[in-house]
Structure 1
Amino acid sequence: MNSKKVVFLFWSTLLFGSVSGGIVGFFINLEVYLGDGIGNLIVGIIYMLGISAAFSLVAQMGFFAYLFLHRFGLGLSKSHTLWNRIQWVLIVFVFFDLVYFRYIAFGKEHSFWGYLFIPTLLFIYAFIVARIKAKETNKGAFVPALFFMFVITTIEWVPALVADDDRWLVLYITPLLVANTWQLLMLHRLIAKP
């Protein structure tokens, strides 16, 4: 992949993540931005785009960190099968932690099932994206794609998870999911030989 493609991936990911998070953030805080005139509306939109751009940058750092981790894991394990098994164990571990530790920390206000809902939705979304990636490339891409979309996205999402604020959960996850999905599904297109 040449530098032109890397620059394209960077700016397109930043754009899609910023716009998606900006739109969702605007509608989440609609009453705030429409309350005090046009100046408040403009500042609110700029703020939402800026925050979402920052989250998109976090997603990009996570993506390139995972590319390094994946190569390192393959080199260390000497086989795709062992590395895939390790990734499955980590997926299950992160799913459990995402449910259990959030329930322990904030469960006094909500039922256990409410804390199972969000990780399940994230896993289903990650599963769908991983299936698309595997279909567009090869079957061997499924587990790494699932790991990236579920585990790495969860790690990137930690600042919002510890806040336990539904608005921040949605505002933070939107640009992360859009940016991570875009990067994952664009990578094989950018590195494909013509």
Structure 2
Amino acid sequence: MTLRKWFHLFWTTLLLGIVVSTVIGLILQLSDKDFSVMGLSGYGFNLLIMILGGGIISLLSQMGFFAYLIVRFIAIGIIRSKTVWELLQLAVVIVVMFDLVYLRKNGSGSLSSYFITPIIILIIAVGIGYWKVKLTNRNAFIPTLFFMTVVTVLEAVPALQEDNAATTLFMFAPLIVCNAWQILTLHKILENKKS
């Protein structure tokens, strides 16, 4: 990966995070009629916060992506069997999806409401995984599924701690878009063109 390719990935991911968080933030702000800052409508102030928040979320996504690539490289070096590595990734996906329901469940509310987020994440991850397979090869499905579920959930822990639907949506939407963009463009960035 050259520095120019990394800059392209960095800036496009940053732009995607800013755009998605701004759109989601404006939708959330317009849907809440009681929204105000010190009794005044704070659209301009909140727009700036949404832009900055989207930039920070996209940077978090990029850190998670490169951390995943490093951990994957080390794990493949330690665990020589491809089958064992894939089964381990699938096991971690199952544990994270279970924990996303079970650990977030507090005394109030029904348990079924806590299944919504993991099911949506899993559906999106499977879709992105199939898309990655079409772009590359069938060996890309499990790593993509792992990245889109486990890494996205780990990156979204601050929003999950709030246990607020608007906060969760505001953080998950840019994270999922940024993570999907990075994993789907990785093969294009790393391809070696022979002259």
Aligned residue number for residue 144 of structure 1: 143
2:138 aligned partner, one-letter code: K
Contact 1:33 1:44 in 2 (8 A): no
Aligned residue number for residue 60 of structure 2: 58
Q: C-alpha distance in 2, partners of 1:12/1:33?
A: 32
Contact 1:63 1:183 in 2 (8 A): yes
Aligned residue number for residue 22 of structure 1: 22
Aligned residue number for residue 101 of structure 1: 103
Secondary structure at the aligned position of 1:120 is classed as helix
CA-based RMSD of the aligned residues comes to: 1.5
Number of aligned residues: 189
In structure 2, the gaps of 5 or more residues are none
Taking structure 2 as the reference length, the TM-score comes to 0.92
**How far is the alpha carbon of 1:174 from its aligned partner?**
1.1
Secondary structure at the aligned position of 1:29 is classed as helix
In structure 1, the gaps of 5 or more residues are none
Aligned residue number for residue 43 of structure 2: 41
1:96 aligned partner, one-letter code: F
Q: C-alpha distance in 1, partners of 2:154/2:141?
A: 19
Taking structure 1 as the reference length, the TM-score comes to 0.93
Q: C-alpha distance in 2, partners of 1:138/1:79?
A: 19
- Aligned equivalent of 2:77, options 75, 78, 81: 75
Q: C-alpha distance in 2, partners of 1:125/1:153?
A: 11
Structure 1 residues 139-174: Cα deviation after superposition (integer angstroms, max 9, x where no partner): 111100000000000000111111101110000101
Q: C-alpha distance in 2, partners of 1:193/1:65?
A: 23
Alignment of 1:168 with 2:167, yes or no, is: yes
Contact 1:59 1:156 in 2 (8 A): yes
State percent identity of aligned pairs. Answer: 37
Higher helix share: 1
Aligned residue number for residue 5 of structure 1: 5
Q: C-alpha distance in 1, partners of 2:29/2:113?
A: 23
Q: C-alpha distance in 2, partners of 1:137/1:73?
A: 22
Aligned residue number for residue 130 of structure 1: 129
Q: C-alpha distance in 1, partners of 2:40/2:19?
A: 23
Q: C-alpha distance in 2, partners of 1:168/1:63?
A: 22
**How far is the alpha carbon of 1:109 from its aligned partner?**
2.3
Secondary structure at the aligned position of 1:133 is classed as helix
